[in-house]
A and B are shown apart, each in its own frame.
Chain A
Amino acid sequence: MCLAIPGTITKIEGTDADIDYGGVSKCASIRFAEDAKVGDIVLVHAGFVIQKLDRKDGEELQKLVDETMRSIR
């Protein structure tokens, strides 16, 4: 379950935020990410921000994969 999509916060008004998904925007609640700021990339599920996303995107995962791949060789 749990369809959640990344987007960028473009505006905040109280606990409501406008999130840009690349071409289209929709409102979401930041009730669970009250320290979120405009410009943050966030994960949105069913109309609520559930997590701020690590800007370094795939870097950490690549490191974890690298650890495992090295031990395989």
Chain B
Amino acid sequence: MNYQTEDLAAGIRKLASEVGDVTIMEVCGTHTQNIRRFGIPSLLPGNIRLVSGPGCPVCVTSQEDIAAAVFAAGRENVIFVCFGDMMRVPCRAGSLEKLRQAGRDVRLATSPLDALKIAKENPRKEIVYFGIGFETTAPHTAALVEAAERTGTGNLSILNVHKTMPEAIRYLLRGENQISALLCPGHVASVTGSDAFSFVASELQRPAAVSGFEAFEILAAILKLLDMIRKKDPQCVNMYPQAVTREGNRQAQELMDKIFKPCDAVWRGIGCIPGSGLAFRECYAGYDAKKRFDIPHQETEEPEKCLCAKILKGEKNPEDCVFFGKECTPDNPVGPCMVSSEGSCAACYRYRP
């Protein structure tokens, strides 16, 4: 039997009639994008709601960390290397894109190893690489450090703002809230293994489904979640078997563990979540750009009335915010959810009917 998306949509409709109001949270920016891009909400019955949690590493990078990036990139003799995602993120101190336009040497990377290449080609400059991302990307930064050590590349440091998912999910789903089930990020799970999300079912008593990114894959995961809700049987199921195993990518996990240790991290719009960040272990502290450049601690506040914190937690929708579509647009973003093209508010703005 070869099921198509129409079959899944029909199956979802049948299950939805048996379960009452359901709120499914996803915690992955690419899920947010693709759910909107494929018009998936329009295929779901009215009692099934999809909300976006803090799955966008760009969105949740704290204002202080962005200010640190702007500070480092503004320094004479620094070549600042980062992914395109982070370029437009604004904070009170400015943005990397504005620095680039003003002539500072800010370069686009499509892999952290680009920073190593740039460092070797520019021995008299200091190269700073902006390490953003969750468990899918943190191993890459670890590999960059490993390669820098091996080749004795001393003019490279990393502004490390990596974060991890499990503690953030615990923080959001603990206790009383509306979230019925979790759509788990398929590519994070590729690295961590689907077992890393089993706590959602065992500890937090919510069904969890690891999901791929095509329309069929997302709908299949939603179908499975509704089935588990109907049976009142929360499990963690891997619905992305093509790319995810129970144990994940051991080589990536081992290297991450070698270079990083867990630490507390500040998530923009949420605040400090204990144990949700990654810090360099002592022996690699030399690669920490915050130490190398003595970056000053810059206290920054979220604009009042910005609902990003509640939107990230799935408590409010973008349309509920007074700034949405008026003072806050993709052109002129106020908070993190409008900043990244994958942020809830930007996605909602772009794809609204």
Q: Which A residues are closer than 8 A to B by beta carbons? A: 1-4, 28-29, 31-34, 43, 45-48, 50-51, 53-54, 57-58, 60-62, 64-66, 68-69, 71-72
Contacts and interface: CB of A to CB of B under 8 A. Distances in A.
B209 to A, nearest CB: 10
Contacts of A61: 212, 216-217, 220, 239-242
A47 B110 contact: yes
Interface stretch (B1-9, B303-311, B327-335): B1-9
B1 A66 contact: yes
Interface of B: 1-3, 7-8, 11, 14-15, 28-30, 55-57, 83, 110-114, 133-134, 136-137, 139-140, 143, 146, 185-188, 190-191, 212, 216-217, 220, 223-224, 227, 237, 239-244, 249, 251-252, 255, 342
B242 A53 contact: yes
Given A47-B114, A68-B227, A2 B11 contact: no
B111 A72 contact: no
Contacts of A60: 241-242
A15 B239 CA distance: 30
A50 B29 CA distance: 18
Given A43-B243, A54-B241, A69-B3, 4 more contacts: A31-B143, A54-B242, A64-B224, A71-B227
A29 B143 contact: yes
Contacts of A1: 28-30, 55-57, 133-134, 136-137, 185, 187-188, 342
A68 B224 contact: yes
A32 B28 contact: no
Contacts of A46: 83, 110-112, 133, 136-137, 140
Contacts of A28: 111
Contacts of B134: 1-2
Given A46-B137, A51-B249, A2 B111 contact: no
